[in-house]
Amino acid sequence: MQILKKTQLKALKVARDIGPLGVIERLNKKRVVGRGGASFPVSDKWKYAIETKSDKKYLICNADEGEPGTFKDKLILMKNPETLIEGIIIAAETIGAEEAFIYLRGEYIGLKKILESKIKNIIKKSKTNISIDIVVGRGAYICGEETAIIRSIQGFRGQPYYKPPFPPVEGLFRKPTVINNVETLVNISQALYLNDYNPDLRLFSVSGAVKKPGVYEFPLGTSLVKIVEEAKPRDKVKAVYFGCFGGCMKYKDMELTPENICKEECVHGAGTVIVVDNKTSIIDMAYIISKFYTFESCGKCTPCREGSIQILLLLKKLRGKKAEKKDLDLLKELALHIKETSLCGLGQSSTNHIITALEHFPEEFEELIIP
Amino acid sequence: MKITLNGKTIECDEGRVIYGICRQNNISIPSLCSQKGLRSEARCRVCLVEMDGKLVTSCSTYPKEGSVIVTDSERAKNARKRNIELMMAGHAHSCSIDPNANQLCKLLKEVGLTEFRFKKTRNYKQDLGSSVVRDNNKCINCGRCVDTCSKIQTINAIDFAGRGHNEHVTPYFEKNLSDVSCIKCGQCILNCPVGAISEREHLTEVIEVLKNKKKHVIVQVAPSIRVSIGEEFGYEPGTIVTGKMVAALRKCGFSKVFDVDLGADMTIMEEASEFLERLKKGGPFPMITTCCPGWILFMEHFYHDLFNHMSSCKSPHEMLGMLTKTYYAKKAGLSKKDIVVVSVMPCTAKKFESKRKELESGVDYVLTTREAAKLIKHFKIDFKKLSDEKFDNPLGTSTGAGTIFGATGGVMEAALRTVYELGTNKKLESPDFKVIRGMDGIKKGKVIINGREIKFAAAHGGANVRKLIEECHDYHFIEIMACPGGCIGGGGQPIPTNLEIIKKRAEGLYSSDSKDHLRRSHENPIVKQIYKEYLDYPLSPKAEKLLHTKYKKKSEF
């Protein structure tokens, strides 16, 4: 796997040799994009932070990998933390930050000690004056959202706020802040040093009804069937979910590119593939995922706070075969409403799974309603 | 910058949110959670409009050059309606009872929402504080109380806790407001759009005691009520309705209606004497006023090093209450235990004050301005048709100095008039100290007394108070009011209370002062009489016992 290749501080040397503008140019040329889900070009994000004048700047490594069915960052944190830390130092030196934070998912607290000793080591070896601190999250899914991370590190409730100002202009402690995902930062080190760096390789966390769940690396555009077959499905596959927020689609042979996934009304996200077999009902999936979102909604804005619990209540009614046609219509309307009017990415994508399920598997909903 | 707003191309400034641009162009958009002067957190999602095909919150979105904004499309209207409908699922109060009860009720009417399809989801215990009562079952999590408490008052007594639909406003560890460092100012009540926070009502108790023929029930009215209570009966803010107010209260069945302005004059006599004494002794300076019970709590919780700087005077209504139960009782031949004193105050903290252990209180019940209006309505009195009546004697004669206590800077101005004239034995050319008036957060000035320069300052609103306290050792005399605007912006005042309304109420008070022929507390004949007949002289042992108090250190949390 390319992602596990170590750069041994040689990428940092390259970065120091070519300077910040050189780094940005190189990353632009190598087409390094954010791997957190939005695929925003790294060079653009950094450029904003470099251009903003400030006495202090911060770098945050987003290691709050909370999306159900996603565990690629955990693999990196366990198997290749050196390259990640190097990436953090490169990023911080490039944008001019002296302090960097790793916002570690609360459930990954077991990795903290090892990471800390690695950081100490690498900082010593690389002779950098950048400090890297690990902030451990308290288990809230919302803290994977960048503005919520900022508030959480500052000691406030982990709730998002609306942008602008965007973090590269005004973020942590109201200073320019760059927030990059774990996978992105590793890619930055690798893009600078590896001669055979391939920007199209993506990590896929495959789980669900498969015998060999795990992290797989494939180039963009690999067929969905190939990815799922690699993980050895247990039964006939009915559907795949692209994480909870990505939505679901009927299992079929299709090249996995963000565009193709978009055609199915789904969101590509962070390379999550949850395999659902024939024995599982889509309504049960919808119920479980809605339960997750009801619990993980931060409560800040009305549609997500009140809407998520109402969706759960409607699904409960549906599963209990007590729902009527008008309840199904309300479910549809509410799902769309939450998507359109919520404040942050969590709320906006929290009903994708219902919208896509209603689109691709309407019969499973309709057979449950009272005629 | 050019944008298209509802089909029309208009010119607008950059750096303004859509909501502001719409208001400038006379387009109204419903909104709930945003507060003037504070950055909107865009929580409620009620002010949605369409911008370039997307639904955005107008309170927080900045348009770009060429943006196309539609505020009245079906899509935007429906989205707004849906969010209010969702909000209602978390709002236990049935708004259909009184369509004008609060902002949310009015909004329901405005958007024409009649069908509620969602199940109600809330079930919380009420928080029954000694002054402020919270009912989370009515709360819609707009966050205005939290913003008010943390950003305007800088008290941070309440914040959000819980996640998802369990998110709710609470003091830390789900404690009651009475048990945390809340200063009971009640500013959260003024800013709540759904009536989830209110004062601890004492109406039923007062109505009950009014029925008791054996009791001599006396009501006393704070200076700021006369310019604000009219609003509850349809008068413009700032209209002086003293005469009608007195007539209405008398009609409610109170046997005497006394004027707290007189209490204010008494406070000035005691406070000015205390200040002159400190001038003689050389300190400690600054001396800080103690008329505001919110500020006293503020100090007791957060500023333990200021104890010996505080004046020891009780607040005006406590002084008057005490005089009613002693001086007046003796004069009228009544027994102290037969007298019940009810104060009408613009304040929720006064409810707490009247129950303080450190202070032998002369006041039995405190009603807010809103409660007093409710009382008058309860007795079906047609306020507007009443003819003017006067306060009862003897405790009903007051000066302009007492009247301006209701506005920020007023106590300082009244005190300076007396301090100067008693200290120098000269008469002021004009009793006006205009530097200390107005709505600036911190106001400062100087005056020369016997060749000595006296620096004074006044602050109002928690954030300004903290700023002034930081530099307080530069001054000799400081007035502090916890509520923005002073008592005219108090937590017990009619809703809405905002800066414009506060300004109008202040104008009312100052015009009343300027028309008064008595404008100095020490010229008040009743004040002179009380000292002559009963208290001997300011700061006499008797006065110390009845009119002064102590403070107690409280936890910062």
Short-list B533, B532, B311, CA closest to B415: B311
Of residues A157, A308, A334, nearest to B165 (C-beta): A308
Backbone angles phi, psi at A280, to 5 degrees: -95, 135
- Are residues B164 and B267 part of one domain? no
Q: What is the pLDDT of residue B110?
A: 86
**Which pLDDT band holds residue B98 (cuts at 50, 70, 90)?**
low
Is residue B92 within 8 A of residue B126, CB to CB? The reply is no
Of residues A157, A294, A307, nearest to B86 (C-beta): A307
Token digits of residue B391: 């306060």
**Closest Cα of chain A to B354: distance in Å?**
36
Query: What are the chain A neighbours of B166 within 8 Å (beta carbons)?
Result: 299
Compare all CA atoms of chain A with the CA of B60 and give the residue at the minimum distance.
A162
In this prediction the pTM is 0.90
Of residues A294, A296, A341, nearest to B48 (C-beta): A341
How many helices (H) and strands (E) chain A has is answered by 16, 9
Asked if A146 has any chain B CB less than 8 Å from its own CB, the reply is no
Are residues A308 and B43, on separate chains, in Cβ contact within 8 Å? no
**CATH, residue B213:** 3.40.50.1780
Compare all CA atoms of chain A with the CA of B89 and give the residue at the minimum distance.
A306
**Closest Cα of chain B to A58: distance in Å?**
24
> Parallel, antiparallel, or unpaired for β A237-241 and A248-250?
antiparallel
**B157 occurs within a structural domain:** yes
Compare all CA atoms of chain B with the CA of A334 and give the residue at the minimum distance.
B82
**Closest Cα of chain B to A157: distance in Å?**
8
- Are residues B212 and B190 part of one domain? no
What domains, with CATH codes, occur in chain A?
2-193 (3.40.50.11540), 201-277 (3.10.20.600), 282-366 (1.20.1440.230)
Q: What is the pLDDT of residue A91?
A: 95
Compare all CA atoms of chain A with the CA of B84 and give the residue at the minimum distance.
A302
When the pLDDT of each residue in chain B is averaged and rounded to a whole number, the result is 91
Beta-carbon count within 10 A of A15 CB: 25
- Are residues B466 and B413 part of one domain? yes
- Are residues B195 and B334 part of one domain? no
Backbone angles phi, psi at B62, to 5 degrees: -95, 125
Q: What is the pLDDT of residue A71?
A: 94
Sequence-separated (6 or more) residues with CB below 8 Å from residue A344: A142, A145, A147, A148, A160, A162, A300, A301
> Parallel, antiparallel, or unpaired for β B452-460 and B442-449?
antiparallel
- Are residues B304 and B217 part of one domain? yes
For B126-190, the three-class secondary structure string (H helix, E strand, C coil) is CEECCCEEECCCCCCCCCHHHHHHHHHCCCCCCEEECCHHHCEEECHHHCCHHHCCCCCCCHHHH
Measured between alpha carbons, how far is A276 from A100 in angstroms, rounded to an integer? 39
Task: Dump the DSSP string for A32-49.
Answer: -B-TTTT--BHHHHHHHH
**Closest Cα of chain B to A149: distance in Å?**
16
Short-list A293, A159, A145, A173, CA closest to B146: A159
Query: What are the chain B neighbours of A303 within 8 Å (beta carbons)?
Result: 45, 82-83, 86
Query: What are the chain A neighbours of B165 within 8 Å (beta carbons)?
Result: 294, 297, 299, 305-306, 308-309
Q: What is the pLDDT of residue B122?
A: 84
Count of domains observed in chain B: 3
Task: Dump the DSSP string for A108-125.
Answer: GGGGHHHHHHHHHHHHHH
Compare all CA atoms of chain A with the CA of B56 and give the residue at the minimum distance.
A341
**B332 occurs within a structural domain:** yes
Asked if A52 has any chain B CB less than 8 Å from its own CB, the reply is no
Please report the number of interchain residue pairs, chain A to chain B, with beta-carbon separation below 8 angstroms.
Answer: 95
> Which portions of chain A are predicted below pLDDT 50?
none
**B118 occurs within a structural domain:** no
Q: What is the pLDDT of residues B122-137, one digit of tens each?
A: 888 888 888 999 989 8
**Closest Cα of chain A to B117: distance in Å?**
9
**Closest Cα of chain A to B54: distance in Å?**
8
- In terms of phi and psi (left: phi > 0; alpha: psi -120 to 50; beta: otherwise), the region of A299 is left
Are residues A341 and B159, on separate chains, in Cβ contact within 8 Å? no
Are residues B159 and A157, on separate chains, in Cβ contact within 8 Å? yes
* pLDDT over 80 (residue B195): yes
Residue B29, domain extent:
2-93
Mean pLDDT of B351-355: 91
Of residues B55, B140, B167, nearest to A340 (C-beta): B55
Q: What is the pLDDT of residue B315?
A: 93
Is residue A317 within 8 A of residue A208, CB to CB? The reply is no
Q: What is the pLDDT of residue B36?
A: 82
Find residues 322-351 of chain A whose CB sits inside 8 Å of chain B: 330, 333-334, 337, 340-343
**B116 occurs within a structural domain:** no
Q: What is the pLDDT of residue B101?
A: 75
Looking at B93, B115, B141, which one is the last position of a domain? B93
Q: What is the pLDDT of residue B99?
A: 67
- Are residues B337 and B247 part of one domain? yes
Of residues B55, B141, B164, nearest to A295 (C-beta): B164
A272-281, B86-95, B194-203, B544-553, range with the lowest pLDDT: B86-95
Are residues B118 and A303, on separate chains, in Cβ contact within 8 Å? no
Looking at B41, B70, B93, which one is the last position of a domain? B93
- Are residues B18 and B162 part of one domain? no
Run of H or E including A246: helix A243-246
Mean pLDDT of B436-453: 91
Sequence-separated (6 or more) residues with CB below 8 Å from residue A196: none
Token digits of residue B516: 């008064």
Are residues B164 and A306, on separate chains, in Cβ contact within 8 Å? no
- Are residues B288 and B177 part of one domain? no
Q: What is the pLDDT of residues B296-305, one digit of tens each?
A: 999 999 999 9
Of residues B46, B79, B165, nearest to A309 (C-beta): B165
Of residues A140, A161, A341, nearest to B163 (C-beta): A140
Looking at B200, B221, B250, which one is the last position of a domain? B200
A interface test, pick of B33, B51, B86 with most A CB neighbours within 10 Å: B86
Is residue B39 within 8 A of residue A161, CB to CB? The reply is no
**B460 occurs within a structural domain:** yes
Could you give the 3-state DSSP secondary structure of residue B553?
Answer: coil
Percent of chain B with pLDDT over 70: 99
- Are residues B9 and B74 part of one domain? yes
**B107 occurs within a structural domain:** no
Asked if A157 has any chain B CB less than 8 Å from its own CB, the reply is yes
**CATH, residue B141:** 3.30.70.20
In the numeric block, the tokens 């451990």 are attached to: A136
Mean pLDDT of B89-101: 69
Are residues A305 and B89, on separate chains, in Cβ contact within 8 Å? no
Compare all CA atoms of chain B with the CA of A317 and give the residue at the minimum distance.
B119
Query: What are the chain A neighbours of B30 within 8 Å (beta carbons)?
Result: none
Of residues A161, A299, A333, nearest to B167 (C-beta): A299
Q: What is the pLDDT of residues B206-259, one digit of tens each?
A: 999 999 888 999 999 999 999 999 999 999 999 999 999 999 999 999 999 999
Measured between alpha carbons, how far is A221 from A248 in angstroms, rounded to an integer? 18
Active site residues of B: 271, 274, 291, 311, 350, 353, 358, 487
> Parallel, antiparallel, or unpaired for β A131-136 and B168-170?
unpaired
- Are residues B179 and B211 part of one domain? no
- Are residues B376 and B305 part of one domain? yes
Asked if A312 has any chain B CB less than 8 Å from its own CB, the reply is no
B interface test, pick of A157, A161, A297, A302 with most B CB neighbours within 10 Å: A302
Mean pLDDT of B503-510: 93
Compare all CA atoms of chain B with the CA of A296 and give the residue at the minimum distance.
B164
Query: What are the chain B neighbours of A162 within 8 Å (beta carbons)?
Result: 41-42, 57, 60-61
Is residue B269 within 8 A of residue B522, CB to CB? The reply is yes
**Closest Cα of chain B to A344: distance in Å?**
11
Are residues B141 and A340, on separate chains, in Cβ contact within 8 Å? no
In the numeric block, the tokens 């006599």 are attached to: B269
Q: What is the pLDDT of residues A293-335, one digit of tens each?
A: 999 999 999 999 999 999 999 999 999 999 999 999 999 999 9
Find the DSSP H helices in B339-456. Answer: 349-353, 369-378, 400-403, 410-424
**Which pLDDT band holds residue B96 (cuts at 50, 70, 90)?**
low
**B454 occurs within a structural domain:** yes
Query: What are the chain A neighbours of B167 within 8 Å (beta carbons)?
Result: 298-300, 305
Beta-carbon count within 10 A of B335 CB: 9
**Closest Cα of chain B to A64: distance in Å?**
18
Query: What are the chain A neighbours of B117 within 8 Å (beta carbons)?
Result: 330
Are residues A309 and B141, on separate chains, in Cβ contact within 8 Å? no
Measured between alpha carbons, how far is B98 from B291 in angstroms, rounded to an integer? 37
* pLDDT over 70 (residue B95): no
Are residues B119 and A164, on separate chains, in Cβ contact within 8 Å? no
- Are residues B491 and B386 part of one domain? yes
Q: What is the pLDDT of residue B35?
A: 85
Are residues A309 and B87, on separate chains, in Cβ contact within 8 Å? no
**B557 occurs within a structural domain:** no
Q: What is the pLDDT of residue B91?
A: 82
Q: What is the pLDDT of residue B129?
A: 82
Of residues A300, A313, A343, nearest to B119 (C-beta): A313
**Closest Cα of chain A to B64: distance in Å?**
12
